[in-house]
Amino acid sequence: DTAVSQTPKYLVTQMGNDKSIKCEQNLGHDTMYWYKQDSKKFLKIMFSYNNKELIINETVPNRFSPKSPDKAHLNLHINSLELGDSAVYFCASSQSGTGSNEQYFGPGTRLTVT
C-alpha cells in the first residue's frame, strides 16, 4: 500500500502551459506539504496545509496554486509554466499533535519545461 502517492510521475510540457500535479495520502494525516527539489537536489518547502487550510506559503510565485479538497489530498496547479519551474516536486504528509514532526514523502513528480 502506497502511503503518499503522486501523479503523474513525469510531466513534460512547454513554456506557457498550465499543468497540475495530484497528491494523495492514506496515512490519515492532517497536514500536507509541497516541497521542490532543484537540479542540485536542494529541497525547499513551498506550501503547508493543515486540515485543508493553507498554513505556509514560502514566497512562491502566484502562478503556483495549491488546492486541498480534503485532508487526504493536496494538488498543485501551475499556470504559465517557465523554464525555471523544471524540478522534482514532492508531496509529504504528517500528523499534528503527536509530539513528532515525522514527514512522509511521495515518490515525486519530475516536471520538465521546454
Q: Measure the CA–CA gap between 91 and 36, rounded to whole angstroms.
A: 9
Question: In the chain, what's the furthest Cα-to-Cα distance?
Answer: 43
- What x/- string results for residues 65 through 94 when contact with another protein is judged by CB under 8 A? -------------------------x---x
Minimum CB separation of residue 80 from another protein in Å reads 25
Q: With CB under 8 A, what is the number of residues at the site for another protein?
A: 28
Q: Measure the CA–CA gap between 32 and 104, rounded to whole angstroms.
A: 9
Of residues 27 through 66, those in contact with another protein by CB under 8 A are 30-31, 33, 35, 40-45, 48, 50, 56, 58
13 binds another protein (CB under 8 A): no
For residues 15 and 43, which CB has a smaller minimum distance to another protein in the complex?
A: 43
User: What secondary structure does DSSP assign to 25-43, as a single string?
Assistant: E-S--SEEEEEEE-TT--E
Determine contact, residues 104/94, Cβ cutoff 8 Å.
Answer: yes
Minimum CB separation of residue 86 from another protein in Å reads 16
